Structure formats: C-alpha cells, structure tokens
Amino acid sequence: MKTTKKFILTEQEMPTRWYNILADMPNKPLPPLHPATKEPIKPEDLAPLFPMGLIQQEASTERYIDIPEEVLDLYHSYRPSPVFRAYGLEKAIGTKCKIYYKYEGYSYAGSHKANTAIAQAYYNKVEGVKKMTTETGAGQWGSALSFACQHFGIELEVFMVKISYEQKPYRKIMMNTYGATVVPSPSNLTESGRKILAEHPDSPGSLGIAISEAVERAAKDPDIKYSLGSVLNHVLLHQTIIGEEALLQMAKAGDYPDIVVGCFGGGSNFAGISFPFIRENLVNGKNTRAIAIEPASCPKLTRGRYMYDFGDSVGLTPLLAMYTLGHNFVPAKIHAGGLRYHGAGMLVSQLLKDNLMEAQAKLQKDCFHNGVIFARSEGILPAPEATYAITGAIDEANKCDEAGKPQTILFNLSGHGHLDLSAFDKYFTDELEDHELTQQEIEESIAQIQ
Ligand SMILES: *Cc1c(COP(=O)(O)O)cnc(C)c1O
C-alpha cells in the first residue's frame, strides 16, 4: 500500500495569472473608509503607504491579473509547490476519506508568505522605492519580505511583536541574515509605540500594535513605503497562485475536493487555497465547502462582529468592514503567532457573511496533538499555524466517517515548523495552555470599537 503520493506541475504548467475573486462576488465588500473623514478612501489617500501598482490591485475588479515575469522568475525557485495525497495520515487516523494537502513550506521563507512578499517588493522596486517597513508576528512574514527586498535592492525595517522577538530569536536572526533591521514592538521609535508603552510598559505587543508603528513610519517619511503580509485584497490576490495550482493538481490526481481547509490569521493562505475553488462554485456549478480554521483564543470569524474597524491598534489604517474582535484586542500568547490578529480580510469577511465559506475555531492543544500525528505519519513538521488546518481536515474526516459519507478533503499546509520547535517541546512537557474567551471578554473588546 502506498504511504504517500505527490502531484507536481512543471514550470511550464504553472499558472501565470492571479485570480481576483472580487470579479465574481455576488456582494462586494463595503468600501474602506478614511480614518479621519470616514469617507470612502481614494487611491491617492493610500499613495503615501503603497506603490500605485498595488493600490490598483487593491481596488481592481479584473478577474485575472498577469503575474509579472520577474515575479514568476523568483516563484520558480520554489513553485509550483507539490500536492500530496496523505495516505500516511489517512491510515494513522483510520479514515475512509481521501485527504490531500498542498505544501507551501518549500519556499525560502518556509511558508506561503513568500508568494506576496516577492510580488510586493517587485511593485515597489518598479516605482523606485528604496526603503520599506513592515510588521511581523512570529517572524514568518518579516523573513519572507526580508529576502524579497534584498533580491530587489530595497532596504527593510521590521517591527516584530515583542513576545515573539523574545521567544523566537531564530526568525529575527534570519531577517538580519537577509539584510533587514528588526525592532521589537512596541518600541520607542514611534509615537504609537511610545503611547502603548506609556499605558502598558510590559505590553507583549501584538500585530495590531506593530502595524501602527510600521504604518506611522511610512506615513511620516516620503521615502518609506509600507507593506502588509495578510488581510488586504492585493495580498490575498497574490496567494491565489496556491489554489490555481491546486486545481490543476487535483485534476492530475483525478479527484476534486468536497472540502477545502486553511488556517486563518488574516486570511491570506486560506484565500490562496480556497478562492479558486469558490470561483468554481460561483461560476461553474461546483459545490466545495471552504472552511477557515482560527484559534479559539482569537475567534474573530466565529465570535467577532462584522463592522467597520481599524486594522491596527492605534487607529492609523483605513477603517475596514470586517469580522473583528476590536482593534485593542490582545490575544492570548498561543504559539501560532501568525494567527494572533484581531481582524480578517474584507474579502473573506464578506464571503463569510454571505455564507460562501465557513469558519471553525480550534483549541491549541488539540492542534499540537494533530500536528504531531501529521509529523509522524507524513514526515513534515508543520508550523504551529498549519496544525489548525490539519485539525480542521482531521475533524471533518471524522465527521464524514461518522456520517458514513467519506469525502475528498484538501488542506493547505501553509508552512513548516523548523523554527518553532520550542513550541512542540512545550507541548510535550505539557506546558501549553488552552485559552477560550468568555462572552464578556469578547463583548468588552468589541464595545471599544468606535
Ligand atoms: C502568517 C502565517 C499564517 C496566517 O496568516 P494568513 O494570512 O491567515 O495566512 C498561517 N500559516 C503560516 C505558516 C504563516 O506564516
């Protein structure tokens, strides 16, 4: 019996266009609003932060956007990425379902984040940008952008969430190696950071705070542009290369997924794997369930509210219509750092509101448990974030088996966990905690949104 099977594409077979789901959505997301005037934002309002090429993509309604030659060229250093049939995992959990996974961990960054890092650095380079700034949680995004900026000759400064800066020094060293400067956030370098430190000197930081610092830097300096690793439409767009490849690979496997699963931080890897399949639902009469898996300690999709909120903690970004726990929400220190974000992308929020996708929340210890089963059966040590997708897939397989209706499940394995081994160590020594929010905590946080 086979233990695993790999479905690959050649470079020639790799799709050369990103898919823009905005073209096919029955209801478009509400427009982002200017933080001061509360009027719909105009492209020129975003010009201090982003190059025009990305601002155009952010608002584009074109169904497909060609991937530039130089971006494809660097994609080819790790793309097309493989799809595996997880025979080992199927056997380990004793399911009759067929489980496939798309593996994004072969990139230089070890995760899917390279897909948008390369594109964003490229569009900045084209417009002559010499310096960029960004935030990073556990460091995956910062390390992805560090190399992309180095490749295109751009200087990079990264605000890294302080708790991760302290707990996960390897990602910081990786960013330094690729040539970036890394600052623990909240920092004294920005007004936003100083404001947070004055109120909470021991703040562990959060993605929301780090975003405020990076946005402030770019907004105040005409020579610096800002870059975000998730949430925004153009970021989700760049990730659709994952699902476009997966569609072709599932065809090679002679199969089609009933269920597609991705873990959920701001929505980029979930969108990447699922949007092309949601298109097939909307346009070609397919019927695949797309399920986003978030941590129970940061449950914006399952327990947050759909409303206008800021993308950062201080309130410098445009107001986005999205599922949110409130921009002041500081999630528990779970080890899937990439999933500790208070909000969700506008596109995914609208799709969830329209029941065109689903969301589930999972507990950290269950996810590590399943991550270990996956590592032992498939040989890939998953990123803590990716263990949420693994758990989503396993739980759905179990449900299908109980109902006596085995199905075909495809999940996105967003990255490897080679730099997160200490989290696995904590799991083995039973030092991890599960954290589920009370209804009161959620309501208090949401009530602070004005
Ligand atoms: C950043 C990250 C995530 C979460 O971010 P999304 O934008 O929701 O994809 C998930 N997995 C890995 C490996 C990451 O680095």
In a domain, 95, yes or no: yes
pLDDT digits (tens, 9 = 90+) for 150-190: 999 999 999 999 988 998 889 999 999 999 999 999 999 99
- Rounded mean pLDDT, 87-99: 98
Does residue 337 have a pLDDT over 80? no
In a domain, 344, yes or no: yes
In a domain, 250, yes or no: yes
Longest dimension (CA), the chain: 64
CATH at residue 436: 3.40.50.1100
Answer whether 239 contacts ligand 1 (Cβ < 6 A). Answer: no
Pocket perturbation via mutation, ligand 1, pick of 106, 113, 211 by most ligand atoms within 8 A of CB: 113
- For residue 149, which amino acid is it? C
In a domain, 38, yes or no: no
| φ/ψ (deg, to 5) at 292 | -95, 135
In a domain, 31, yes or no: no
Answer whether 386 contacts ligand 1 (Cβ < 6 A). Answer: yes
Number of domains composing the chain: 1
Going by pLDDT thresholds of 50, 70 and 90, the confidence category of residue 1 is low
342 Cα distance to chain centroid: 13
Q: Whose CA is nearest to atom 14 of ligand 1?
A: 338
For residue 257, give the 3-state DSSP assignment: coil
For residue 16, give the 3-state DSSP assignment: coil
pLDDT digits (tens, 9 = 90+) for 117-151: 999 999 999 999 999 999 998 899 999 999 999 99
Question: Has this prediction a pTM greater than 0.95?
Answer: yes
In a domain, 348, yes or no: yes
Does residue 228 have a pLDDT over 90? yes
Going by pLDDT thresholds of 50, 70 and 90, the confidence category of residue 375 is very high
Q: Whose CA is nearest to atom 10 of ligand 1?
A: 385
Answer whether 262 contacts ligand 1 (Cβ < 6 A). Answer: no
In a domain, 85, yes or no: yes
Pocket perturbation via mutation, ligand 1, pick of 414, 418, 419 by most ligand atoms within 8 A of CB: 414
Does residue 408 have a pLDDT over 70? yes
Closest CA to 91 of 366, 414, 397, 386: 397
Answer whether 142 contacts ligand 1 (Cβ < 6 A). Answer: no
Mean pLDDT computed over every residue of the chain: 96
Does residue 3 have a pLDDT over 80? no
In a domain, 367, yes or no: yes
- Rounded mean pLDDT, 326-348: 87
Host domain of residue 257: 6-13+69-110+239-447
pLDDT digits (tens, 9 = 90+) for 241-296: 999 999 999 999 999 999 999 999 999 999 999 999 999 999 999 999 999 999 99
Going by pLDDT thresholds of 50, 70 and 90, the confidence category of residue 340 is confident
